[in-house]
A and B are shown apart, each in its own frame.
Chain A
Amino acid sequence: MQVDEATVRRIARLARIKITDSEAQSLQKELSGILDWVKQLDEVDTKSVEPMTRVVAQDLERRPDEVTDGEIAATVVANAPVTEDNFFVVPKVVE
């Protein structure tokens, strides 16, 4: 077993996903199963291997730093669950 229930709860909190007590137990088993299985990578000697950062070797394209879009606030918030005057509305963050 790689992960305990407390770790599952900590990870779920980091991922901002609410989980129930019974989910924490079943997820503990499922995550451990996957993490045990991927541990077979330890067999591979990677001491002198560089990690891959991109599959096609190329430099990132640069573009001029200029405004190409904007003034579309109503479009930006069009899909939001709650808006007011083209602002996103969230529950109170500061008391």
Chain B
Amino acid sequence: MTDLTALTLSEARDGLRKKEFTATELTEAHIGAIDNANGTLNAYVLPTPDHALAQAKASDARLAKGDARPLEGLPLGNKDLFCTNGIRTTACSKILDHFKPAYESTVGGNLWNAGAVMLGKLNNDEFAMGSSNETSAFGPVVSPWRRKGADTKLVPGGSSGGSSAAVAANLCLAATATDTGGSIRQPAALTGTVGIKPTYGRCSRWGIVAFASSLDQAGPIAKTVRDAAIMLTSMASYDAKDSTSVNVPVPDYETGLTSGVKGLRIGVPKEYRVAGMSAEIDALWQKGIAILKDAGATIHDISLPHTKYALPAYYIVAPAEASSNLARYDGVRYGLRVNGKDVIETYENTRAAGFGHEVRKRILVGTYVLSAGYYDAYYLKAQKVRTLIKQDFDEAWDKVDVVLTPTTPSPAFGFGEKTGDPIAMYLEDIFTVTVNMAGLPGISVPAGLSSEGTPLGLQLIGKPFDEATLFRTAQAIETAAGRFTAPDAWWLAGAAKKGKS
């Protein structure tokens, strides 16, 4: 039998319906792949094979009756930021310890109600704060990609590094992810996968561990544009339990996916040509422009003048909101407790022991910018700059339908290469963070390889709630550029040698 884990989500869906294999076989194949690979890649922090097989069995019963739901029997990975009913959820932080939620996130519930199977909880940067998955309390994730002729371990991006690595290494058909400043799109770009951050309000935030509430959005990481469209169709919904959820109909994003981009107006913002951008990223951008032009779109130079201020404004807004959200981890109601001589010292000891360095640093920055006397100078200033960033896009939408940029300023990097300089790590999000600040949808689609043989992504930014146009534009790029998969499954070799196969 062919390797079932190599299928795309849509191929697996069609195969199940044609009864070429069962949901149990499909799930067992993925459980086997996780067993082989996870010791090397560390993509899953908690595989849940028994849970998955029980769900697969129920799916097989429905498939046999011809009663399949949209994602019936399709095995997915779930980022450990999503609360799972009765299954440990940690946000990859020590402070949540062995927290077992008594509820399911709305997005997760939507997927399981659509018939999907959960293979386990995926690694991420602690509380989604990072761009390389190196801040996880469970240790870093290794990318299935390597530079040509080298075995240096590369990062899979972050914060959804477990999601991107698992999808790229065929350890799930697709995965949930979250994006506060680029945490879906940047890891997708670094692993040759497709990731979309929908419009703020499109997916419910209920039951997702909060980082920065005005920026956080859930979305999928998948193998193809079609797979991402199928995933988002099920993930998105209006939810009365999230007051920022927007009550607009969710289209079937798979419909119209291949209707092309003829006549579509593509904007190319000059401000994204940043100093120090590598020649190959520029070449990739030109390739994207040429692809869309050939497909019948028109290309327009546009200006988004406040782009350079998005990242510094983000590093005020996001830590401020994080310091407030993370105040709940006090060692009283859930998670870790380190006792002190009184209740204040118990809080202080618990939070010092439970939070990792990056998280502590961001809480302190957030506390500082919100403290008496500094609020106007920092937080209010950043929120005003945010208004200007959004206005830049509002003006652009008069002239264009979609904005095209690179997703990241450089290809995947090695462990530790950017941890010494926090600003260098923050610059990973320079092209993605504007989209969160303005609440817009953005998708990253693989478009080429670097000179090192590692994947590079292009980002498409759309009008609010116009994810459908992003999908068909991304499809045009994927159709022309092809898919990019890691050239050899080296991460399985070690396990096979040990005779685990």
A38-B316 contact, Cβ under 8 Å, with A18-B348, A44-B385, A92-B342 = yes
When the two chains form their complex, are residues B368 and A19 in contact, meaning their CB atoms are under 8 A apart?
no
When the two chains form their complex, are residues A18 and B352 in contact, meaning their CB atoms are under 8 A apart?
yes
B232 at interface by CB-CB < 8 Å: no
B interface residues, how many (CB within 8 angstroms): 66
When the two chains form their complex, are residues B384 and A18 in contact, meaning their CB atoms are under 8 A apart?
no
Q: How far is the CA of A43 from the CA of B383 in the complex (A)?
A: 15
A79 at interface by CB-CB < 8 Å: yes
Give the residues in chain A near B365, CB-CB below 8 Å. Answer: 31, 34-35
Give the residues in chain B near A55, CB-CB below 8 Å. Answer: 200-201, 214, 390, 438-439
When the two chains form their complex, are residues B367 and A11 in contact, meaning their CB atoms are under 8 A apart?
yes
When the two chains form their complex, are residues A19 and B352 in contact, meaning their CB atoms are under 8 A apart?
yes
Give the residues in chain B near A92, CB-CB below 8 Å. Answer: 342-343
Whole-angstrom distance from the CB of B429 to the nearest CB of chain A?
Answer: 14
Give the residues in chain B near A51, CB-CB below 8 Å. Answer: 380, 383-384, 386-387
Give the residues in chain B near A88, CB-CB below 8 Å. Answer: 332-333
Residues of A contacting B: mostly:
loop
When the two chains form their complex, are residues A49 and B378 in contact, meaning their CB atoms are under 8 A apart?
no
Q: How far is the CA of A11 from the CA of B439 in the complex (A)?
A: 30
Q: How far is the CA of A15 from the CA of B368 in the complex (A)?
A: 9
B276 at interface by CB-CB < 8 Å: no
A interface residues, how many (CB within 8 angstroms): 51
Q: List residues of B (370-386) whose CB comes within 8 Å of A's CBs.
A: 371, 378, 380-386
B253 at interface by CB-CB < 8 Å: no
Which residue of B has the minimal Cβ distance to A12? Answer: B364
Whole-angstrom distance from the CB of A82 to the nearest CB of chain B?
Answer: 7
Q: How far is the CA of A39 from the CA of B66 in the complex (A)?
A: 61
When the two chains form their complex, are residues B201 and A90 in contact, meaning their CB atoms are under 8 A apart?
no
Give the residues in chain B near A14, CB-CB below 8 Å. Answer: 367, 371
A11-52: contact bitstring with B at CB < 8 Å (1 yes, 0 no)? 111111111000000010011011101101111101001111
Q: List residues of B (107-149) whose CB comes within 8 Å of A's CBs.
A: none
Whole-angstrom distance from the CB of B197 to the nearest CB of chain A?
Answer: 12
When the two chains form their complex, are residues B371 and A91 in contact, meaning their CB atoms are under 8 A apart?
no
A52-B422 contact, Cβ under 8 Å, with A14-B371, A37-B315, A81-B336 = no
Q: A12-B364, A56-B199 are in contact. List 14 more A-B contacts (CB 8 A).
A: A11-B368, A13-B348, A15-B323, A16-B347, A40-B309, A40-B312, A52-B386, A52-B387, A55-B390, A55-B439, A56-B464, A79-B99, A79-B334, A81-B334
Can you list 23 A-B contacts (CB < 8 A)?
Answer: A15-B351, A16-B344, A17-B352, A17-B364, A18-B352, A30-B361, A31-B361, A33-B422, A38-B312, A44-B306, A46-B384, A50-B387, A52-B386, A55-B200, A55-B390, A56-B201, A63-B240, A77-B333, A79-B334, A81-B334, A88-B332, A90-B332, A92-B343
Which A residues fall within an 8 A CB radius of B?
A: 3, 7-8, 11-19, 27, 30-31, 33-35, 37-38, 40-44, 46, 49-56, 58, 60-61, 63, 72, 75, 77-82, 88, 90-93
Q: When A and B form their complex, which 6 residue pairs have the shortest distance between CB atoms, in order from nearest?
A: A55-B439, A51-B383, A79-B334, A81-B337, A46-B384, A18-B348
